[in-house]
Structure 1
Amino acid sequence: MSDAILSLRGLRKSFGPTEIIRGVDLDILHGERHAVIGPNGAGKSTLFHLISGQLKPSAGRITFDGQPIAGRSPQAINHLGLARSFQITNIFPKLTVHENLRLAVMRPRGLQYTFWRFIDRDAETRRQTERLLELVRLQRRASTLAGEMSYSEQRSLEIAMTLACDPKLILLDEPMAGMNNEETAYTAGLIREVTKGRALLIVEHDMEVVFSLSDRVTVLVYGQPIATGSPDEIRNNAAVKEAYLGEEVAA
């Protein structure tokens, strides 16, 4: 599809004789928020690993922003403008919020950790770090150790770190996991705000978040998409109800 930022064609992944991803064709459009849902063991995290370079596909093509990326390293894919956060927070708990973000800003600019003592003199690094702090509303927590913050604040920090490379596509893997209702609502609003103008691919189990946040939804079952459509189309799809959503959708 010509307006796709990410295209998957015939994507497969096997571990020995076990095929986890069994032929995925999927397009993620420029600027859209696209959710992937499915039961446990459907292959959602494996799919993310393939897209972001943690795993190499057994077969098929992955094209990002017009370039083939299947088999490239995570670093090379990130440099093209694809950023990912994981199910488990990927922060430095013994560094402050500001220091975590400063490291994230330094990385795509090719600045080494040996410049740490001098980096505060760099106006562009300071400017970008402060912008990200403001974007995720963590200005008041800048000097707090990341490991001392609440889980939702840590996820906000990780989202800010993901944005440090100014990505064209963001992959979020279960960002609401372990949150209460208030934290979930806050994080969903934050994701909606910071992904304006960017493509988002998200794996999430909270159906309320999925249906309120996404432009389109793909349902993955046993490593294959069984439906892709708008939230209303997925909510009312009989095959999806039978295979995954069941009475939750009706409710």
Structure 2
Amino acid sequence: MNAMQPILTLTDVHKAFGETQIIRGVDLELRAGERHALIGPNGAGKSTVFHLISGHYVPTSGRIHFDGHDIQGASPQRINRLGLARSFQITNIFPKLSVYENLRLAVMRRHGVQNTLWRFIGSYPKVREETERLLEQVRLAARRDAIAGELSYSEQRSMEIAMALASDPQVILLDEPMAGMSHEETDYAVELIKQVTQGRSLLIVEHDMDVVFSLCDRISVLVYGQVIATGTPDEIRNNQKVKEAYLGEEVAA
């Protein structure tokens, strides 16, 4: 796919819960191979957009097009099989299993052997090889036998990114991956995300503007359920409407 072509497109997407309109006509385009941030104030609807893209919510109206497929209303499992994976604001792991076991389960799902008895899993060398590769890719090989619930927060988020990568997706959605991290942990996570998204498309929700401006090729700003601007980091930084609605003069400067 041409790097300028959209791999994911939202067209006039609406979502209402009863009489309450949350998403009010969102148009959004993620290009193949780009890193794209969706930013906006709390309550703007960013996580709702992620839920709509990943199949956890069904749009009230509008179209969501992913890699040649209309996916509005499709199940999360089907969307994942088509090549889209996501993480959540809250770390989503099996806390009593080891790092290796968590990642192996994610790889097993991709190969359709998640219901195989564990004593027979040794007969699937590809599962073992891919699990080992993921551990190396997210720099957790030294922590493979650690219990997931005992990892540091940043290590848990790294593991969750690995679990998203287990399906070998074309598009990765990350929902506030830096939340709760120290400055040092954030720097580590940014470099990790840069590495693992090479050759993939990334759509990220993130409140840390330093991360957004340094990581992303383009940025879309969501305010009250509508995208008010899309552009490069410099274009968004200097957009007067965005300054007034979200960034503020001081941050934008």
TM-score range, shorter chain: over 0.9
Cα shift at 1:248: 4.1
SS of 2:33's partner is: coil
Which residue is 1:245 aligned to?
Answer: 247
Aligned in 2, Cα 1:248/1:82: closer, same or farther, shift over 3 Å?
farther
Deviation at 1:123, TM superposition (A): 1.1
The offset of 1:250, in angstroms, is 3.5
Match of 1:80 in 2: 82
User: Per-residue CA shift, 1:198-229, capped at 9, x if unaligned?
Assistant: 00000000000000000000000000001000
1:115: Cα distance to partner?
2.5
Query: Where do 5+ consecutive residues of structure 2 fail to align?
Result: none
CA 192–74 in structure 1, closer or farther in 2 if over 3 Å, else same: same
Tell me the amino acid that sits aligned with residue 106 of structure 1. Answer: M
Choose the corresponding residue for 2:38, options 36, 39, 54.
36
Percent identity over paired residues: 70
Where in structure 2 are the equivalents of 1:117-196 lying within 5 Å? 117-196=119-198
In the TM superposition, what is the alpha-carbon distance from 1:249 to its structure 2 partner? 2.6
User: Paired residue for 2:15?
Assistant: 13
Indicate the SS of the match to 2:116: helix
2:111 maps to: 109
Quote the Cα distance in structure 2 between the aligned partners of 1:35 and 1:4.
15
Which residue is equivalent to 1:227? 229
Cα deviation, residue 118, structure 1: 1.4
The TM-score, its normalising length taken from structure 1, stands at 0.98
What residue is the counterpart of 1:205 in the other structure?
207
Aligned amino acid, residue 119 of structure 1: I
Q: 1:61 aligns with which of 60, 63, 69?
A: 63
Q: Is the 8 A contact 2:105 2:114 kept in 1?
A: no
Distance (whole Å) between structure 2 residues aligned to residue 247 and residue 193 of structure 1: 32
**Aligned to 2:193, what secondary structure does the other structure show?**
helix
Q: Give aligned pairs, total.
A: 251
CA distance in 1, matches of 2:86, 2:252: 32
Deviation string 1:61-112 (CA, Å, 9 cap, x unpaired) is 0000010000011001000000010000111010000000000000011003
SS at match of 1:165: coil
Farther off after superposition, 118-127 or 146-155: 118-127
Displacement after TM superposition at 1:114 (Å): 3.3
113-122 vs 154-163, greater mean Cα deviation:
113-122
Segments of 5+ residues of structure 1 without an aligned counterpart are none
- Find the residue that maps to 1:19 and give its secondary structure: strand
RMSD (CA atoms): 1.2
Cα distance between partner residues in 1 of 2:242 and 2:122: 52
User: Which stretch has the larger CA shift, 105-114 or 63-72?
Assistant: 105-114
Q: TM-score, normalised by structure 2?
A: 0.97
Q: Which amino acid aligns with 2:218?
A: R
In 2, Cα distance between equivalents of 1:249 and 1:169: 30
Q: Secondary structure at the match of 1:70?
A: coil
